[in-house]
Amino acid sequence: MKYTTLPGTDLKVSKICLGTMTWGEQNTEAEGHEQMDYALEQGVNFFDTAELYSVPARKETYGSTEKIIGSWFKKTGNRDKIILASKIAGPGYSNKHIRQTGFSKDAIHEAVDGSLERLQTDYIDLYQLHWPERNANFFGQKGYEHDENEQWQDNFAEILETLNDLIRQGKIRHIGVSNETPYGVMRFLEESRKNSLPKMVTVQNPYSLLNRLYETGLAEISMRENVGLLPYSPLAFGVLSGKYLSGKPENARITLFPNFSRYSGKQASEATRKYYDLAGKNGLSLAQMALAFVNQQPFVTSNIIGATTMEQLKENIDSIDVELSGEVLKEINNIHKQIPNPAP
């Protein structure tokens, strides 16, 4: 395993982060425990979860993933070996069963306390805002559309003040954002500097061969402001494993949940085929090439992989040992120029 640190902290994290959002829906508690056991044995010490999980977000499974992690901590006593990240759910179309009070002081305190109870721990190492409260960065929307009737009021400083209170209480250690825009990241950074408040140290946004939008705006922020990317969906909901090129396998995510089809359009499929052929030409599996591409980006702190089977998990973790040559990277960029960002 390779390691880095969360930007601006002394926390050493593995370059591969274990994503957990299928536990409680596609994976049982026992399977979640098996994945955590194996990941830790392979040197993965960074786990990411959220109060929203498992997915798809449903009232019946709200918090189920955190409960599975909590039962593993209780069973194994391994809490001190793990850097743990979780998130508060922002208001969203699929979150109506949680709370609709946004990132108010009471909402943040309620969310943190609930997560700590489910996770059976006293602290969360990295606490993230899952979605902006603003009407921005929705799935399937590449650009920003201004809404004159939006009800959101500027509250960046107030959010940081609330999170600072929780840091002082020892309930969380560091903070980050998720599904955020360049505007949102820079406003948080501005408020933290101006008011001597905690800094957002990470951004958790989608990033993969099929979605490189992070490179426009946010990558420069990462490098110049020392805010690391924690990329999710590096395999584009499994599309970049190549398993959908000849149909929809039984029990695969897109087969089970057709609304997870943002990476399944005609252009995305065409690009996936090109990347599949390129990987094969260079003696690689598509999944490992796709993950290695993400691993090698200088703005990436840790690559969030997820799996529903142990076979997938092993292949994904092993991608840390794959180093793409300059020629392969050049060919990847040639395909990207032909079909840029085919899926938002």
Dihedral (Cα; 215, 158, 120, 1), 10-degree rounding: 20
Of these residues, 53, 62, 214, 263, which one is catalytic?
A: 53
Instruction: Say whether 303 sits in a helix, a strand or coil.
Output: strand
Polymer length in residues for the chain: 344
Concatenated DSSP letters of 12-46 = EEESEEEE-TTBTTTB-HHHHHHHHHHHHHTT--E
Beta strands in 145-207 (DSSP E): 172-178, 200-204
Which DSSP letter does residue 135 get? Answer: S
Spell out the residues 6+ positions from residue 239 whose beta carbon is closer than 8 angstroms to its own: 210, 254, 263, 264, 268, 272
Cα(227)–Cα(203) distance, integer angstroms: 7
Closest CA to 18 of 92, 76, 68: 68
Cα(11)–Cα(174) distance, integer angstroms: 10
Rounded to 5 degrees, φ, ψ at 343 are -140, 125
User: Does residue 53 have an active-site annotation?
Assistant: yes
> Would you call 261 exposed, middle or buried from its count of C-beta atoms within 10 A (0-12, 13-18, 19+)?
middle
**Residues annotated as part of the active site:** 53
